[in-house]
Amino acid sequence: MIGKIKGVLSSVEGNIGLIETPSGVSYEVFLTPDLLSKKIGGLLDIRTYLQVRDDAFVLFGFESVDQHHFFKLLLSVFGVGPKTAFNVVSHTRVNELLQAVKENDVEYFTQVPGLGKKTSMKIILELSQKVKSEFSFTQMHLSDDDKTVIEALVALGYKTQDAKNLFSKLPKSLSVEEKIKHALKLSVQKK
């Protein structure tokens, strides 16, 4: 298993970099945009993941241990392969990914090119159990009125997560105005 490569970035073609090691062996590695932006001839010290397929050995390179760890965490989600997982960590930051999982933020994941709502929901569902956050389908299927309530609470100065927490405690049968009033009452009662 190739777990780490240290060498000179000798060329870049698309999203693949050629890394030449001191021993003279060069590796073709899929690199994140941050790594691809490094200067040709510069030294790279990266964590890697080796995908073994029938027709090829494919290396994915990561700038940090956190990126590498989250990539492997994404691979544990049924239906998410190395290319999809690599795409997710390439277009986002690990701390933002964890926050999106904890907040059940499907919209955050659907901003990743090629990642649809269904796969995003699956990622959140499976990873939320692994990162020990609460999961709620109701937060993922908000109506326009529900979104209006949360946006109104945010406009009134609540943090998005606090607004979502208040919203989750509201009776579903209330109108938009009643939900906002009820949320404000709940907020005052907590203090």
66-70, long-range: CB < 8 A, 24+ apart: 66/94, 67/32, 67/94, 69/94, 70/94, 70/97, 70/98
| Residue ranges matching CATH 2.40.50.140 in the chain | 4-62
Which residue would you say has higher pLDDT here, 190 or 183? 183
| Residue ranges matching CATH 1.10.150.20 in the chain | 65-136
| Residue ranges matching CATH 1.10.8.10 in the chain | 142-190
CATH topology of domain 4-62: OB fold (Dihydrolipoamide Acetyltransferase, E2P) (2.40.50)
pLDDT in tens, 17-58: 999 999 989 999 999 988 988 899 999 999 999 999 899 899
Q: DSSP state, 81?
A: -
pTM summary value: 0.65
Question: Can you tell me the distance from the alpha carbon of 69 to that of 49, in angstroms, rounded to the nearest whole number?
Answer: 10
- Write a three-state SS string for 111-168: CCCCCCHHHHHHHHHHHHHHCCCCCCHHHHCCCHHHHHHHHHHHHCCCCHHHHHHHHH
pLDDT in tens, 154-188: 888 888 777 777 787 787 778 888 888 888 888 77
What is the CATH architecture assignment of 142-190?
A: Orthogonal Bundle (1.10)
pLDDT in tens, 105-122: 888 888 888 888 888 888
- The alpha carbon torsion through 172, 174, 176, 179 (nearest 10 deg) reads -80
| pLDDT class of 132 with cuts at 50, 70, 90 | low
* 42, amino acid identity: G
CATH class (in words) of the domain with range 65-136: mainly alpha
